[in-house]
Structure 1
């Protein structure tokens, strides 16, 4: 006996009619049974065998291969096929066993195990089977058995279920017409729980492996960002830093080749405009190749340059609306574009290209290029990491250029310092200001990276610990439920963080037009307050609502308005003194000849200093000494939404009494009441 196995992507192929299925309930067999020579108690032998196979913890598909073998030998069929179904987006995992007489046989071009013109006779071992069961067996038959070296004439299948979901199919095959007995169907039905457990065990192992790979990749990305941060603080020359950076990036992301190029503009003041390609020279400043697994030391290559006008691939950064530029097929086969590229790209050897622009304040400083010899589908997580890396490289370049400018400035003024002490003092002051500004920028960058890495690392750490504990064989059901809840909670935190970041990005890009609706602000506010009463009470707080007696109609964007209320009240609930009251007041008044809706949220809490008030609405910035868990995005999102609605927001902190650390905190939002009065506020407002 022997076995065949393979993993084939799930197919959506339209199957032939099931008019030949002969699985009518209650049909009695007419011919003598030929299946098992020892039918007295086959279940007593088969079940322990399958239990031993499952308990053996075989690697991957081996467990399915062993189960297919013992089931096929017990039923004395020509072939036994097991198909694990992970889901719509996954790949079906198959394991086949064939009788000894079919081993060593291969398919020829004119042979197909499944003849669409002569579809095999199919039956389901389930007594009360449905059309969906038959359809599942048909699809699994096509996926798992289309490459078998024997014709398929008679099929007995059984879908398995785990947790109310169909997770696999067991298929018995004869290459000749055969009549399945009731005993065979009953025996196969008795095997369903065991096979379902085997399928679930294999699929769960795959999910765990995928999660481990994700955690390992996240760790590698964090190490890469730390390495780039260390490089940015080193005393190395800019070219040396960029060479080490491109090597680390290409190795971590498993690229075959990495290039780092900088642009030198003919017009230094040029800023990127849609469809306009500037006159510039592209200089290669860093290169890494898997062929040498090292930074290229060929000085001639590193000095190589070409004109931007001679490379349509690089020009696409300026003309295309989608970035990064990704090429996954031979350039000649892509229609609608001129893909002429500089020889340095070696497209004949490395046709798959990912080109990320290095952009600062609307100006393209250069390109980060990753190349592959084979097609590669870049994941969103990898593209997001690359965006962060490009931002860090831009910071390194700008810092280096700024320092170089400062050094040049100091050199030019040195001659003047010898003639005038006054000029010397002035130049010294300018230099100190530049150094201070650079330090502030560096501190802000470090603070951003620290906050961002914390928000990503802590949930992932909790998820990793929960997964590790779930591996414990002695874990109780209660603990298992608790760890699964931890996984769900931490995953939700990650998803909410990403959604908030995407919302902020959309608001910053002004890509979403306002969707005005005429609503009663009083009704919306009352309904919202009612929905959070329980949450407020659990925190030991009370909330009061102050509305004008008349209806307050306004033209606004409902979801944005609700989200502003949510973030302001979440902030008040989080930082209010225990046992205090939160007051929400909504009024209407005329400001500068325009009808406006005024929202005031008052609470008692720790005082906000003037320094904190300058950055409390910034992303990932939180007040000093505030240890309540949070992402630092709530007030930033509220401000962005207020500006999206052409309004303004401010905060005031008034001490309750002299020497008391508690203050009355008041957030005031001012929004235009009607659409025709919407005039954008400046950022200063």
Structure 2
């Protein structure tokens, strides 16, 4: 057919397309008569059509060259065509194809229709008896369908009734890429010259449609590239974040903020699970665990967005058994739970933390690692939203990365705890070893000292035992000599008796010291007059002290002072202290004996001080001065080293205490040496001063 289709044929074709009830209507007889009429004047027709077509094509080319936007290009071309063909409206619609996306429309209306509201007559074309839609060239069935779709898409918003349409499909590269619709609001019969003119600009319009589709394709690709760049930047940020030294909660907060912002969500949530039974995480799915979910990270697009901080802090945690939405992750095989709109899904039971009433569109994806669900990442939208496949892929990568970060952090934390525990154990072991080493060193030092003491003791004892025996042996040999006088006999007998007494006293001291250390006997207390007893003991030493140029000064209480003590032990203590003072005092000095009564911790005490002036006692010597067989370094005065050890044992036997203090005297090399003896006044130490009175 030359110009159009018959009414019956076109009507049957158009009935297959919703919204358009009548098809392309151009009687075959009318087309043939119009062709015959035009062929009678070929010269005039060609001359009439060539010039307008050329000018029109030039205008369209100029629009294509100068216009930068796709919508503006179609709008300007529609205006040029509408004015050139003197129609009420011109509608240009691109055809959706493999390379192009959605259809793009460009409309132009005459000035008298620009302020009118949209007309609904497009939906009642079947009521018209006259032909409505005609093609500028012989259409195929594909062209008919394309024209129908373009009218349904491009003419819905037109403000005028549609009474006549002249349409043509444009082809570029053997593919249909657009439709031109010339529309009149009154019934009109399209002439062959109009059809020929429209057909003549078809190729240049096809170029325009191709330009528009390419521009839209480039724009969509640029948008896609920007989206990919944002997604790549997100993955890069998360990778750098996973390598940082931030705490886990800080990393999760930054991760959900970056993800939600990059994917254009209104709100993002990160929820971690804590299983009541840790072994459940290794069990297969389709079982609802006994686990508690806790919100650990949240991001909101604006301050007005829903924020779970408005909720009670207890509502930020919930049990999985109370949230049907989370249960679907365990019961279904899908990797994510997608809600495009929650409004019509009242059958879903969701925890209050999600706030689906305000944010109905949701994408919930589990944080999974080796089959173990660690938690959920949630993106929410206030408006209904369809989540694209690329967004789901990015979300899966983000969840996988976050899951790895959680596992790595937990593993590092466990390793760090193990390292800390092992380090602490090693430190304790080293401390124990150090203490053992120190004790061993002390034991070795003590053994060395004991060995030295033993050697010194043996040397001392051998001298102290051998010297009297030697003197006794010498005295016995002299006594056996014939002709010895009685005077010499008496002298050597005295020596023999004196040396024998020394030997006996030494042995007795050793036995006494051993007996005191084993606590074999309890002290036998008796009451003495302390002032009198001290003067008696000091008087027995007066001759020895005077021979060394020493004198005794007494500082005794004015009134008589009683003391309950063991007389033998008390006498021996005072004798040893006076003996020690006589040995180590500087010549022509005074030995002081001070006595006083004190109440210490509600117990009556007697304080006796023996003070002499001599070479000072160092701090080191003071630590072992009361030890057995120990003598001060550099002290060459003869002795066994048992005197002060025996004093300390006797003092402890009497429940008392003894201490030594060496105070240097200014501008001299001497010191004031004070032995302080503290004894309970009464045998019963618990007896208070008031009771004694």
TM-score under structure 1 length normalisation: 0.55
Please tell me whether residue 267 in structure 1 is matched to residue 277 in structure 2: yes
Distance in 1 (CA, whole Å) between partners of 2:421 and 2:176 is 77
Task: Return closer, same or farther for 1:302/1:423 CA change in 2, 3 Å cut-off.
Answer: farther
Larger Rg: 2
SS of equivalent residue, structure 1 residue 244: helix
SS of equivalent residue, structure 1 residue 387: helix
Please tell me whether residue 180 in structure 1 is matched to residue 185 in structure 2: no
Please tell me whether residue 346 in structure 1 is matched to residue 355 in structure 2: yes
The match for 2:662 is none
Q: Which runs of 5+ in 1 are unaligned?
A: 1-10, 33-37, 425-685
Match for 1:26 among 25, 32, 41?
A: 32
The match for 1:13 is 18
Q: How far has the Cα of 1:329 moved from its partner?
A: 1.7
Distance in 2 (CA, whole Å) between partners of 1:393 and 1:334 is 30
Deviates more, 1:117-126 or 1:251-260: 117-126
The match for 2:404 is 395
Given that 1:80 and 1:173 are in contact with CA atoms closer than 8 Å, whether structure 2 keeps it comes out as: yes
| Higher-helix-fraction structure | 2
Match for 1:47 among 41, 57, 67?
A: 57
Describe how 1:499-648 pairs up with structure 2 within 5 A.
Answer: none
Spell out, residue by residue over 1:15-49, the C-alpha distance to the aligned partner (whole angstroms, 9 max, x if none).
Answer: 435373446753418999xxxxx989322432221
Please tell me whether residue 381 in structure 1 is matched to residue 390 in structure 2: yes
Distance in 2 (CA, whole Å) between partners of 1:297 and 1:17 is 57
SS of equivalent residue, structure 2 residue 287: coil
Please tell me whether residue 318 in structure 1 is matched to residue 330 in structure 2: yes
Distance in 2 (CA, whole Å) between partners of 1:346 and 1:242 is 21
Distance in 2 (CA, whole Å) between partners of 1:294 and 1:418 is 53
Task: Return closer, same or farther for 1:19/1:415 CA change in 2, 3 Å cut-off.
Answer: closer
Task: Return closer, same or farther for 1:258/1:330 CA change in 2, 3 Å cut-off.
Answer: same
Spell out, residue by residue over 1:156-203, the C-alpha distance to the aligned partner (whole angstroms, 9 max, x if none).
Answer: 111000000000011111111111111111110110011101100000
The match for 1:73 is 83
Spell out, residue by residue over 1:102-134, the C-alpha distance to the aligned partner (whole angstroms, 9 max, x if none).
Answer: 1111136xx3334143255221111x3333323
SS of equivalent residue, structure 2 residue 121: coil
Please tell me whether residue 329 in structure 1 is matched to residue 334 in structure 2: no
Task: Return closer, same or farther for 1:233/1:197 CA change in 2, 3 Å cut-off.
Answer: same
Describe how 1:442-453 pairs up with structure 2 within 5 A.
Answer: none
Q: How far has the Cα of 1:63 moved from its partner?
A: 0.5
Distance in 1 (CA, whole Å) between partners of 2:154 and 2:33 is 28
Spell out, residue by residue over 1:384-428, the C-alpha distance to the aligned partner (whole angstroms, 9 max, x if none).
Answer: 11111111101110111111112222333344213446999xxxx
Given that 1:247 and 1:295 are in contact with CA atoms closer than 8 Å, whether structure 2 keeps it comes out as: no
Task: Return closer, same or farther for 1:134/1:44 CA change in 2, 3 Å cut-off.
Answer: same
The match for 1:358 is 367
Distance in 2 (CA, whole Å) between partners of 1:306 and 1:402 is 26
Please tell me whether residue 154 in structure 1 is matched to residue 159 in structure 2: no
The match for 1:227 is 237
Please tell me whether residue 248 in structure 1 is matched to residue 258 in structure 2: yes
Distance in 2 (CA, whole Å) between partners of 1:141 and 1:379 is 30
Spell out, residue by residue over 1:616-671, the C-alpha distance to the aligned partner (whole angstroms, 9 max, x if none).
Answer: xxxxxxxxxxxxxxxxxxxxxxxxxxxxxxxxxxxxxxxxxxxxxxxxxxxxxxxx
Please tell me whether residue 289 in structure 1 is matched to residue 300 in structure 2: yes
The match for 2:173 is 163
Task: Return closer, same or farther for 1:187/1:40 CA change in 2, 3 Å cut-off.
Answer: closer
Task: Return closer, same or farther for 1:278/1:408 CA change in 2, 3 Å cut-off.
Answer: same
Given that 2:165 and 2:184 are in contact with CA atoms closer than 8 Å, whether structure 1 keeps it comes out as: yes
SS of equivalent residue, structure 1 residue 168: strand
SS of equivalent residue, structure 2 residue 363: strand
Spell out, residue by residue over 1:332-388, the C-alpha distance to the aligned partner (whole angstroms, 9 max, x if none).
Answer: x248xx411111111111000000100112211000000001122222222111111
Distance in 2 (CA, whole Å) between partners of 1:99 and 1:178 is 16
Distance in 2 (CA, whole Å) between partners of 1:92 and 1:125 is 22
Spell out, residue by residue over 1:505-534, the C-alpha distance to the aligned partner (whole angstroms, 9 max, x if none).
Answer: xxxxxxxxxxxxxxxxxxxxxxxxxxxxxx
The match for 1:132 is 142
Match for 1:277 among 259, 271, 288?
A: 288
Given that 1:112 and 1:146 are in contact with CA atoms closer than 8 Å, whether structure 2 keeps it comes out as: no
Match for 2:320 among 291, 308, 312?
A: 308
Given that 2:288 and 2:331 are in contact with CA atoms closer than 8 Å, whether structure 1 keeps it comes out as: yes
Given that 1:264 and 1:281 are in contact with CA atoms closer than 8 Å, whether structure 2 keeps it comes out as: yes
SS of equivalent residue, structure 1 residue 348: coil
Distance in 2 (CA, whole Å) between partners of 1:131 and 1:211 is 32
Distance in 2 (CA, whole Å) between partners of 1:357 and 1:178 is 64
Distance in 2 (CA, whole Å) between partners of 1:390 and 1:368 is 7
Q: How far has the Cα of 1:269 moved from its partner?
A: 1.1
Please tell me whether residue 372 in structure 1 is matched to residue 381 in structure 2: yes
The match for 2:106 is 95
Distance in 2 (CA, whole Å) between partners of 1:21 and 1:421 is 107
Q: Which runs of 5+ in 2 are unaligned?
A: 1-15, 39-47, 434-693
Task: Return closer, same or farther for 1:392/1:30 CA change in 2, 3 Å cut-off.
Answer: same
Given that 2:121 and 2:162 are in contact with CA atoms closer than 8 Å, whether structure 1 keeps it comes out as: no
Task: Return closer, same or farther for 1:29/1:280 CA change in 2, 3 Å cut-off.
Answer: same
Task: Return closer, same or farther for 1:31/1:80 CA change in 2, 3 Å cut-off.
Answer: farther
Please tell me whether residue 208 in structure 1 is matched to residue 208 in structure 2: no
Please tell me whether residue 192 in structure 1 is matched to residue 192 in structure 2: no
SS of equivalent residue, structure 1 residue 391: helix
RMSD: 3.0
The match for 1:481 is none
Task: Return closer, same or farther for 1:234/1:285 CA change in 2, 3 Å cut-off.
Answer: same
Distance in 2 (CA, whole Å) between partners of 1:300 and 1:229 is 32
Q: How far has the Cα of 1:294 moved from its partner?
A: 11
Distance in 1 (CA, whole Å) between partners of 2:132 and 2:51 is 28
Q: How far has the Cα of 1:296 moved from its partner?
A: 7.7
